[in-house]
Amino acid sequence: MIILLPVCQPGDALPTLVADLRAAAPDLTVVVVDDGSTGPAPVDALRAARDRGATVLRHRRNLGKGVALRTGFRYALRTLPGQDVVCADADGQHRTEDILRVAERVRATGAVVLGVRRFTGRVPLRSRLGNGATRLLFRAVTGHDVRDTQTGLRGFPAARLDWLLGVPGDRFDYEMAVLLAAVQAGDRVEQATVATRYLAGNSSSHFSALADSARVYRPLLRHAYLRATGRADQARPGRTAAPTVDAMPTDAAPGAETVPTDAAPSAETVPTDAAPTVDAAPTEGVAPGGGAGR
């Protein structure tokens, strides 16, 4: 089992989570994909995560969460084929026990598993309203009720990793596109209830209320349009190009290691150095027509 942590400008929560995961389940492989972080503090956090047993891959510049997730999926396919993958946020929102619960559910069912929040208690208003609106629109467009369409805690069986590389979307829109593609493909999607945690009013989130909300709704509206016009097949996944990915060296020597990315002509592997500014729980199924309760 691989735990995939896409990060951008990570803090101390990242190495803490890596250490907790490794302590709770030593057999796990933890892969961190850094999406172009700069500055000494994020690099220190990445080094600390590496020192606690994580594999750290780095984009030379910020490309978006969707690209970071696909980088992790490529790494899993090329380096550890046959392993299921659980994606989680590394800012403190996802507890170790919830990540492991989703991992166990994927292992037991072979299904896509979402770690869904209840949105009760102290939840930022924009998060509560945004999820409620997106949930209603998703159900209207697809006929399926997903209680937390924007969750970053998701488990995928190994057999679906190659498929995930073809789902479009480079930023937060990628996660919505994955849900839409899964529903269209007829994949079984499980929902596992997890804790709802927002730290410091969700101040660590890189989600832009305007730009990223527009990106998230775009694939939903496109899916609705294609269904309405009888062209739903046009929404099926294709293939996306691989970015340049660097591996964080395992010691102080520059260029200690490189990591294969993909066979795409535009892809290459480049060693990095230590510079801080490298350029570079109950479970329910998804039921048609709102079968899964909130």
Mind listing the pLDDT tens digit of every residue in the chain (294 residues)? 999 999 999 999 999 999 999 999 999 999 999 999 999 999 999 999 999 999 999 999 999 999 999 999 999 999 999 999 999 999 988 999 999 999 999 999 999 999 998 766 666 666 677 777 888 888 888 889 999 998 999 999 999 999 999 999 998 899 999 999 999 889 999 999 998 776 544 444 555 556 656 666 777 777 666 766 776 565 555 555 566 677 776 543 333 233 333 333 233 332 333 333 333 333 344 443 434 332
List the one residue out of 62, 177, 196, 66 whose CA is nearest residue 118: 196
Domain ranges, ordered by start, for the chain: 2-285
Read off the tokens for 193.
């209830």
CATH class held by domain 2-285? alpha beta
First to last CA, the chain: 29
Distances in Å between the Cα of 115 and the Cα atoms of 196, 251, 284 are 10, 35, 11
- One DSSP character per residue, 155-214 reads EE-GGGHHHHTT---SSTHHHHHHHHHHHHHT--EEEEE-----GGGGTT----TTHHHH
- Whole-number Å distance between alpha carbons of 92 and 95: 7
Identity at 258, one-letter amino acid code: T
Query: Model-level pTM?
Result: 0.76
CA distance 248 to 256: 8
